[in-house]
Amino acid sequence: MNFTVKKWQNREYVTLFFLMIQVAVFIIMEWYGMLNGYGLQGTESVAVLNKFGALTQTGILMDHEWWRLITPIFIHIGISHLFFNSLTLYFIGRQLESIIGHARFFIVYMLAGIAGNVISLSFGQLTAISAGASTSLFGLFACYLVLAEVFRFNPAVRAIGKNMGLFILMNLLFNFFGSGVDILGHIGGAIGGYLVMNVVSIPKMTDGRIITDGVNIHKRIISGAIYVFMLVISMVFVMKKYGIL
């Protein structure tokens, strides 16, 4: 019994939990779409996306549906969107969760997604509708930059961090020239993930002969303050823009 419990605790169950949620949401949305005349394109219908909580300025600012800053993380537009985001989450998520632990991973994933959605909401177009785990995934990518800083004397970890940084930049570059991609959400997610990863730090671990306690307390406090400031300023900006404040 103890072996079974320990084995389960060592599994990346938060990653699997997030995967199950987004797959379940996709199936439910497609089923709802079929029942309401949208065929097999329920998740690509604006009406269905709105119904299930996609990110919209009117929904949040006019109807005060603040939960729409969270629900888009688990909603995907079309099967390919779900497939590629799920594949990325499975590999990147499991690896990162095994390094930083379940609680830290959960916090980073959720707060990076919220940050991306706030930035998308604040600086995006009024008529835009967006959804997807990409805001959170870009936050996970940015976590590797923090790991590279903490383990700066480890060439392998530094190389992974450098490659992940280039990966983020390349993706944003392609997003910029692409259509139908929420680049603002990706930028916000990456920044949010980096800041939150600094705040939660990493468990005490050994890097060869080096024992690290993670990110120093001053950087953790500053990163947390910047994260909150970024979200508050963004919300104030968009609310003033539409005369709500």
Instruction: State the Cα–Cα distance between residues 48 and 46, nearest whole angstrom.
Output: 6
Closest to 151 measured CA to CA, from 89, 95, 204: 204
Structural domain boundaries in the chain:
2-241
- Among 154, 150, 159, 161, which residue's Cα sits nearest to residue 209? 154
Residue 186 annotated to the active site: yes
- Please pick, among 86, 186, 201, 234, the residue that the annotation labels catalytic: 186
Query: What are residue 55's DSSP bridge partners?
Result: 130
Alpha carbon of residue 100 to chain centroid: 16
Q: What is the DSSP letter of 56?
A: E
| Sign of the torsion angle spanned by Cα atoms 141, 210, 14, 121 | negative
Q: Say which CATH topology domain 2-241 has.
A: Rhomboid-like fold (1.20.1540)
Tokens of 57: 């300025």
Question: What SS3 state is found at 205?
Answer: strand
pLDDT for the residue numbered 78: 95
Predicted local distance difference test score (pLDDT) of residue 176: 81
Catalytic residue among 120, 134, 201, 234: 134
pLDDT at 195: 98
Q: Are the beta carbons of 81 and 6 closer than 8 angstroms? A: no
Determine whether 86 is an active site residue: no
In tens digits, the chain (245 residues) has pLDDT values of 343 444 445 689 999 999 999 999 999 999 999 999 888 888 999 999 999 999 999 999 999 999 999 999 999 999 999 999 999 999 999 999 999 999 999 999 999 999 999 999 999 988 899 999 999 999 999 999 999 999 888 888 899 999 999 999 999 988 888 777 899 999 999 999 999 999 999 887 665 555 566 788 999 999 999 999 999 999 999 999 888 87
> Vertex 134, ends 160 and 74: CA angle to 5°?
130
